Copies of this chain bind each other. A is one copy, B any other.
Amino acid sequence: MEQLAGKKKAILDTTLELIREHGFHGTPMSLVAKKAGVAAGTIYHYFESKDALICNVFSYIMTNAIEAMQQNDSESLPYKYRFYNLWLNLYRFYSHNPNVLIFFEQFVNSPYQKLMHDTKQDKIRQHLNLFMAQGVRDGFLREANPEVLSVLVLGNIITTAKMMRLRHVSITEQELLQIREIIWDGMTKRS
């Protein structure tokens, strides 16, 4: 989660944390300013408005998520291995950054989302789409619309990551791997 420096980063990080805790509405700019250690007006040097700030937090997060997802991936690895790695990468990212997960969900279901014209918006799903399409083409996955598959996988990862956080269901490492297996098994052809 590192890449910007100084006040701008402080503002973004603070906003992310506060919004996770108090929601968009419950997070006044004055509070962001105070927690980030800057003056209220300073925020407006870096971001045009509260909306813009929130959208920037989204982009900032997205960049990190995409990076995390692709770690240790390589076209030369076996498909199933790649899938398992990708699944775990994303799961770990969301799981280790609960702020992101909750912010993300709040954002997607909010009117803010409409303000985003960023192509970054869904790089994750685009990447997944390609990966799924390849799996179908090469016979690793059952015949199905790759777009549908990638939404399912993404939903599955997020659901799993949220499980403990929101549903108070705690899972063991073993269960985690089982969940990954369930979605993989479901997507592969019946033997």
Binding site for B on A (CB under 8 A): 21-26, 102, 105-106, 108-111, 122, 125, 142, 144-145, 147-148, 151-152, 154-156, 158-160, 162-163, 166-167, 169, 171, 175, 178-179, 181-187, 189-191
Contacts and interface: CB of A to CB of B under 8 A. Distances in A.
A175 B109 contact: no
How many copies, total?
4
B190 A185 contact: yes
Nearest to A103: B109
A154 B110 CA distance: 21
18 contacts: A21-B111, A23-B110, A23-B111, A102-B109, A122-B167, A144-B182, A147-B169, A148-B178, A151-B167, A151-B169, A154-B159, A155-B155, A155-B156, A155-B162, A181-B191, A182-B187, A185-B190, A186-B186
A110 B106 CA distance: 7
Contact of A185 (B155, B156, B175, B186): B186
A68 B189 CA distance: 30
A125 B189 CA distance: 27
Contacts of A155: 155-156, 158-160, 162
Given A23-B110, A111-B22, A111-B26, A152 B156 contact: yes
Given A102-B109, A109-B106, A152 B148 contact: no
A103 to B, nearest CB: 9
